[in-house]
């Protein structure tokens, strides 16, 4: 082998080694992007929500089920694009006292009068944003605007699922106040990924009409707030009994080596929660399907049989491209589940 060829070969190997080192370093040192329920969880929840719908709706929703899955995560991607998005995903109930949270009015105007709009946005506006989305969905049904029906159905599914996550109702949303960083993604992403498909029963009956949707959502938030202490305390006790090398391991995720909670530790935590994740996921599915159904009923039960599959227009495609761009290239704006 000539000296030139040998040198070229060595440089090629060194370059590849450096690239591998950088990739591994990034994978080991930078936590993965995490989201409410995770991408898997939101897609899984929206998918199962379709099957609770009545015959008059299910054909249209099943025909577009791939869209409802794919776009269930758009609200999380939007958190990388606009600062107004983050507070729509949570509400820190512990900032308003203790259950039954009598100091916090359920209606937006009354809450603004008491606490100011800035304060409400600082601690999250999830229940009120869900009602805005629900009214938009009802209007889309009235207009028989199939693209808007699908877009709003996919996205309201995300927000409703979020308020069923206990840590979305707590200011200690990622255990940052109790030395439990990472518990947010552990509870809502890691556990569903490990157990939902193999262990959870999520075919849970039928959607029903919800007359007072605002009260319904507040009840789900109260449940989440009451469960948040258990989410944190159970993991804290378990962590003190488990050495670090058994709590964490490194696993390949989409070609990148990531440090995460081990399967062994996840099994123990999941068992200690006694079905909580499955119950909250099932409740999410029922709530989403029932909100879709309620919007349709309130719109006069328009026929969906002639709508067919949705077709994105150029404006919708541009919006999706921008969301993808911001998600891939930017840091999250506002509250993150990793800090």
Q: What is the pLDDT along the chain (339 residues), one digit of tens a residue?
A: 544 344 334 434 433 443 433 333 333 333 444 455 668 999 999 999 999 999 999 999 999 999 999 999 999 999 888 989 999 999 999 999 998 899 999 999 999 999 999 999 999 999 999 999 999 999 999 999 999 999 999 999 999 999 999 999 999 999 999 999 999 999 999 999 999 999 999 988 999 999 999 999 999 999 999 999 999 999 999 999 999 999 999 988 778 888 899 999 999 999 999 999 999 999 999 999 999 999 999 999 999 999 877 766 555 565 555 555 544 555 556 665 554
Q: What is the pLDDT of residue 151?
A: 97
Residues 6+ apart with CB under 8 A from 64: 150, 309, 310
Range of the domain at 266: 31-329
The answer to whether 288 and 157 have CB atoms below 8 angstroms apart is yes
Q: What is the pTM of this model?
A: 0.84
Residues 6+ apart with CB under 8 A from 164: 220, 223, 224, 280, 281, 283, 284, 287
Q: Is the peptide bond before 100 cis (omega within 30 degrees of 0)?
A: yes
Assess if residue 291 is contained within a domain: yes
Question: What length is written for the chain?
Answer: 339
Around Cβ 241, how many Cβ atoms within 10 Å?
8
Give the separation between CA 19 and CA 82, rounded to whole angstroms: 33
Q: What is the pLDDT of residue 221?
A: 98
The answer to whether 166 and 280 have CB atoms below 8 angstroms apart is yes
Q: What is the pLDDT of residue 326?
A: 47
Assess if residue 12 is contained within a domain: no
Q: What is the per-residue burial (b if ≥16 Cβ within 10 Å, else e) of 264-288?
A: ebbebbbeebeebbbebbbbbbbbb
Assess if residue 66 is contained within a domain: yes
The answer to whether 326 and 77 have CB atoms below 8 angstroms apart is yes
Assess if residue 26 is contained within a domain: no
Cα distances (Å, whole numbers) of residue 44 to 132, 203, 205: 24, 12, 17
Q: Which residue reads 């450096």 in tokens?
A: 18
Assess if residue 11 is contained within a domain: no
Q: What is the pLDDT of residue 125?
A: 98
Assess if residue 7 is contained within a domain: no
Domain count, the chain: 1
DSSP-assigned letter for residue 169: G
Q: What is the pLDDT of residue 29?
A: 33
Assess if residue 20 is contained within a domain: no
What CATH number corresponds to the domain at position 203? Answer: 1.10.575.10
Q: 305: exposed, middle or buried (C-beta count within 10 Å: 0-12, 13-18, 19+)?
A: exposed
Assess if residue 201 is contained within a domain: yes
Q: What is the pLDDT of residue 162?
A: 97
Around Cβ 28, how many Cβ atoms within 10 Å?
12
SS3 253: strand
Identify the H or E element spanning 325.
helix 314-329
Give the separation between CA 187 and CA 266, rounded to whole angstroms: 9
Tokens (6 digits) for 233: 């305390």
Beta bridge pairs of residue 250: 259
Give the separation between CA 168 and CA 210, rounded to whole angstroms: 23
Tokens (6 digits) for 237: 């006790």
């Amino acid at each position: 082998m000539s000296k030139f060829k040998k040198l070229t070969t060595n440089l090629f190997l060194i370059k590849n080694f450096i690239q591998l080192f950088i990739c591994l370093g990034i994978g080991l040192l930078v936590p993965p992007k995490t989201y409410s329920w995770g991408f898997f969880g939101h897609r899984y929840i929206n998918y199962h929500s379709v099957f609770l719908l009545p015959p008059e709706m299910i054909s249209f929703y099943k025909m577009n089920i791939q869209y409802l899955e794919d776009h269930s995560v758009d609200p999380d991607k939007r958190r990388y694009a606009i600062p107004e998005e983050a507070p729509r995903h949570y509400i820190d109930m512990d900032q308003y006292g203790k259950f039954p949270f009598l100091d916090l009015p359920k209606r937006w105007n009354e809450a603004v009068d008491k606490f100011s709009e800035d304060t409400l946005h600082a601690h999250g506006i999830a229940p009120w944003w869900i009602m805005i989305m629900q009214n938009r969905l009802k209007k889309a049904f009235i207009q028989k605007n199939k693209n808007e029906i699908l877009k709003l159905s996919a996205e309201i599914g995300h927000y409703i699922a979020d308020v069923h996550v206990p840590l979305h109702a707590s200011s200690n949303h990622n255990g940052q106040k109790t030395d439990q960083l990472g518990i947010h993604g552990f509870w809502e992403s890691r556990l569903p990924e490990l157990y939902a498909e193999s262990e959870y029963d999520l075919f849970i009956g039928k959607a029903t009409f919800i007359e007072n949707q605002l009260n319904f959502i507040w009840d789900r938030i109260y449940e989440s707030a009451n469960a948040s202490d258990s989410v944190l305390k159970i993991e804290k006790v378990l962590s003190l009994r488990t050495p670090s090398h058994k709590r964490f391991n490194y696993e390949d995720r989409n070609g990148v080596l990531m440090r995460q909670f081990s399967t062994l530790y996840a099994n123990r935590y999941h068992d200690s929660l006694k079905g909580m994740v499955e119950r909250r996921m099932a409740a999410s599915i029922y709530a989403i399907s029932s909100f879709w159904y309620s919007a349709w009923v309130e719109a006069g039960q328009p026929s969906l049989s002639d709508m067919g599959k949705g077709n994105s227009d150029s404006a919708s495609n541009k919006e999706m491209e921008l969301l993808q761009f911001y998600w891939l290239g930017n840091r999250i704006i506002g509250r993150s589940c990793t800090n």
